[in-house]
Chains A and B, each alone.
Chain A
């Protein structure tokens, strides 16, 4: 089994390099193609029957179905939040599909070689870019990578289903559980029951509640006490089917003294009609444990006129539940027509730490309203926010952040650095910080800057031989450097190239 997977990954290596090279040649959105594959859909719209159907498709136990139904009933009483600085036509929640899976997945594949080659080819073509960096890791001794390169385990989600998880056996040897959430519900109900909805409750917000009702698949991770996960874990999300919303759910539990680094990538085909993506990520971090969660979000952003693209309404939260727990979010948001996303940290344990590093690029007609919440509950808790927003074209980019120091959170600290960069004169950047301090010993700092890409800098680069877009990419990469450096090496290169691509056509 392991050997076969090894082979599959070798194939990918070649493809990945090609993909990354293509990316670096700076085309426009590279992932806009569609896989021609026979699909099975649930009827359009959402109601209790659809919720039951999804539960049934996933072969879930009764308690899970009930959990979903409870969420669905709640959702029906809720209204969409309107406080974000976002403008889009009303979404008709009954006009789309909530479940779509490739027909070939009706029988659950037992290993990767049972998976439809078309599906695997899709991921190869997408160049889940992780393997490429393995090679680089091997060459570049600076990072202290082992000679054979670092391994990255992948759980690949295609529309509503997980199509495969790599290195499962090897992870199991270390005691790490890494599988699709549908499998976890069946195989590890005690863990799922204990933690699902414990960070993002069913009632949390409109989109999270909808997700609780209709989530179809996603990833599950459990790292046992004292275990340092032997490889990077990752999920790769792909929306392929038309008119289908993707609702995936990720649950990560880092038990006492453990460590895991998790990467997430996502793309979707180019379509004229906008598509909905409403995901929930919950992370539970126990005493002395640490989780790094990195996202390179590259959903289709819509075309130059603002047609199509993904509406991305995502709830991500980490709960540093016990003492000295630590979480670090890093996100590079370049895709999506609409981004509504605030990966947040609850610093409940004393001396727990939360970090948030973000690059949000909005070009053409994209709108991003993104940021974080740092909820300081425990004593001596620390948080750090570094947000870099880049707006070009006619895009609007909002940083929205909450730093909250509760009465018990004595001697806690937050530092926020929030920088905006404007390219051109039709775009906007907005900063909306909310700061609540309810004790006298804590300290909160907020620094914000807004600047324009400087003509002198561009001319300097051009006089050295770079064309205008290369020059913008270089200056913007410099602007984002602090955040790019926080990314795992596997993603840093892709992210750098993405920064350039996302800003294509933003000058001149």
Chain B
């Protein structure tokens, strides 16, 4: 996803220099969910999203607009295509297993 992909490892003790400075890109919506959404929405901070068949349009809109304390996310943070994938995955997700 990140600069690391193009990073050139010059040996374990040499400086790691990203060739030309690789830009971060999300692998897919699953990675966004794991690295952003999950921190609140599976941690008693925000409501659980999985298993509720939340409409994709609703998810996309809340991510862009924010909602009360939920921050808004810009296309520079999560691009439209990846956000659509996040929304699709949330919409089709199974409910979280209860402990």
Whether chains A and B associate is: no
